[in-house]
Amino acid sequence: MTKYCPICASEYLDSVTHCVDDGTRLTKEKPKTSYETAAYDIYAAANDIEAERIITLLNSEGVPATYYQSNVSSLPSDASKHFIITTPAKSRNVALALIQNARKDGVISDTGMFI
Protein backbone atom coordinates (compact mmCIF):
# COMPACT_ATOMS: atom_id res chain seq x y z
CA MET A 1 0.00 0.00 0.00
CA THR A 2 1.16 3.57 -0.72
CA LYS A 3 1.33 6.50 1.71
CA TYR A 4 1.37 10.18 0.81
CA CYS A 5 2.77 13.37 2.25
CA PRO A 6 -0.13 15.80 2.81
CA ILE A 7 2.23 18.75 2.23
CA CYS A 8 4.24 17.88 -0.89
CA ALA A 9 2.13 14.96 -2.21
CA SER A 10 5.17 12.67 -2.48
CA GLU A 11 4.44 8.94 -2.54
CA TYR A 12 6.12 6.47 -0.17
CA LEU A 13 6.07 2.77 0.59
CA ASP A 14 3.81 1.73 3.44
CA SER A 15 6.81 1.10 5.72
CA VAL A 16 7.81 4.79 5.70
CA THR A 17 6.15 6.98 8.35
CA HIS A 18 7.41 10.53 7.65
CA CYS A 19 8.23 12.55 4.53
CA VAL A 20 11.98 12.82 4.00
CA ASP A 21 11.62 16.31 2.50
CA ASP A 22 9.56 18.10 5.16
CA GLY A 23 9.22 15.64 8.07
CA THR A 24 5.42 15.52 7.88
CA ARG A 25 3.66 12.37 9.06
CA LEU A 26 2.39 10.40 6.04
CA THR A 27 -1.25 9.48 5.44
CA LYS A 28 -2.99 6.84 3.37
CA GLU A 29 -5.21 9.45 1.72
CA LYS A 30 -3.85 10.96 -1.48
CA PRO A 31 -3.86 14.79 -1.32
CA LYS A 32 -6.37 16.50 -3.60
CA THR A 33 -4.01 19.38 -4.39
CA SER A 34 -0.30 18.98 -4.83
CA TYR A 35 1.96 21.32 -2.86
CA GLU A 36 3.96 21.93 -6.01
CA THR A 37 1.00 23.20 -8.02
CA ALA A 38 -0.54 25.31 -5.26
CA ALA A 39 0.00 29.05 -5.59
CA TYR A 40 1.23 31.13 -2.68
CA ASP A 41 1.25 34.85 -2.02
CA ILE A 42 4.85 35.85 -1.38
CA TYR A 43 5.17 39.62 -1.69
CA ALA A 44 3.04 42.75 -1.54
CA ALA A 45 4.30 45.34 -4.03
CA ALA A 46 3.56 48.97 -3.24
CA ASN A 47 2.06 49.71 -6.68
CA ASP A 48 1.18 48.12 -10.01
CA ILE A 49 4.35 49.36 -11.73
CA GLU A 50 6.55 47.63 -9.17
CA ALA A 51 4.40 44.50 -9.37
CA GLU A 52 4.86 44.41 -13.16
CA ARG A 53 8.60 44.91 -12.73
CA ILE A 54 8.80 42.00 -10.26
CA ILE A 55 6.72 39.72 -12.50
CA THR A 56 8.98 40.54 -15.45
CA LEU A 57 12.08 39.82 -13.36
CA LEU A 58 10.74 36.50 -12.07
CA ASN A 59 9.50 35.36 -15.48
CA SER A 60 12.86 36.25 -17.09
CA GLU A 61 14.49 33.89 -14.57
CA GLY A 62 12.05 31.09 -15.39
CA VAL A 63 9.90 31.59 -12.29
CA PRO A 64 6.17 31.63 -13.11
CA ALA A 65 4.43 34.42 -11.24
CA THR A 66 1.33 36.58 -11.37
CA TYR A 67 -0.14 39.35 -9.28
CA TYR A 68 -3.52 40.56 -8.18
CA GLN A 69 -4.78 43.69 -6.49
CA SER A 70 -5.93 43.44 -2.90
CA ASN A 71 -7.38 45.91 -0.45
CA VAL A 72 -6.55 43.74 2.54
CA SER A 73 -6.26 45.98 5.56
CA SER A 74 -4.39 43.41 7.67
CA LEU A 75 -1.16 44.08 5.76
CA PRO A 76 0.88 46.62 7.72
CA SER A 77 1.25 49.52 5.31
CA ASP A 78 0.11 53.07 4.75
CA ALA A 79 -1.33 52.28 1.32
CA SER A 80 -4.83 50.90 1.13
CA LYS A 81 -4.10 48.93 -2.06
CA HIS A 82 -1.55 46.17 -2.38
CA PHE A 83 -0.40 44.25 -5.41
CA ILE A 84 0.18 40.68 -4.29
CA ILE A 85 2.79 38.60 -6.11
CA THR A 86 1.86 34.92 -6.36
CA THR A 87 4.05 32.00 -7.40
CA PRO A 88 3.81 28.19 -7.31
CA ALA A 89 5.11 26.66 -4.09
CA LYS A 90 7.92 24.86 -5.89
CA SER A 91 9.25 28.25 -7.08
CA ARG A 92 8.70 30.13 -3.83
CA ASN A 93 12.24 30.08 -2.44
CA VAL A 94 13.82 31.09 -5.75
CA ALA A 95 11.28 33.90 -6.18
CA LEU A 96 11.90 35.21 -2.66
CA ALA A 97 15.67 35.23 -3.22
CA LEU A 98 15.29 37.04 -6.55
CA ILE A 99 13.04 39.69 -5.01
CA GLN A 100 15.38 40.12 -2.05
CA ASN A 101 18.38 40.57 -4.37
CA ALA A 102 16.44 43.02 -6.56
CA ARG A 103 15.62 45.10 -3.48
CA LYS A 104 19.26 45.02 -2.34
CA ASP A 105 20.52 46.00 -5.82
CA GLY A 106 17.97 48.83 -6.13
CA VAL A 107 16.17 47.23 -9.09
CA ILE A 108 12.94 47.54 -7.12
CA SER A 109 12.15 49.73 -4.14
CA ASP A 110 12.03 48.46 -0.59
CA THR A 111 8.53 49.86 -0.03
CA GLY A 112 6.91 46.48 -0.66
CA MET A 113 6.82 43.72 1.93
CA PHE A 114 7.36 39.99 2.11
CA ILE A 115 4.29 38.03 3.13
User: How does residue 23 score in pLDDT terms, banded at 50, 70 and 90?
Assistant: confident
CATH of the domain at 84: 3.30.70.1530
> What pLDDT digit, counting tens, does each position of 36-92 carry?
567 889 999 989 999 999 999 999 999 989 999 887 555 555 445 689 999 988 889
Q: State the pLDDT confidence band at 35, using cuts at 50, 70 and 90.
A: low
Q: Are residues 71 and 48 in the same domain?
A: yes
CA distance 8 to 23: 10
Q: What is the C-alpha to C-alpha distance for residues 33 and 8, in angstroms, rounded to an integer?
A: 9
Cα 34 off chain centre by: 14
DSSP state of 91: G
Residue 7 pLDDT exceeds 60: yes
* Whether 60 and 84 share a structural domain: yes
3-class DSSP state for residue 49? helix
DSSP string, 26-41: PBSSPPSS-TTT-EEE
Based on the fold, state whether residues 70 and 83 are members of the same structural domain.
yes
Same domain, 48 and 18: no
- What values do phi and psi take at 18, rounded to 5? -135, 150
Residue 109 and residue 82 share a domain: yes
pLDDT at 114: 92
How many angstroms separate the Cα of 100 from the Cα of each of 11, 17, 41, 54, 115? Answer: 33, 36, 15, 11, 12
CA angle 77, 101, 94 (to 5 degrees): 95
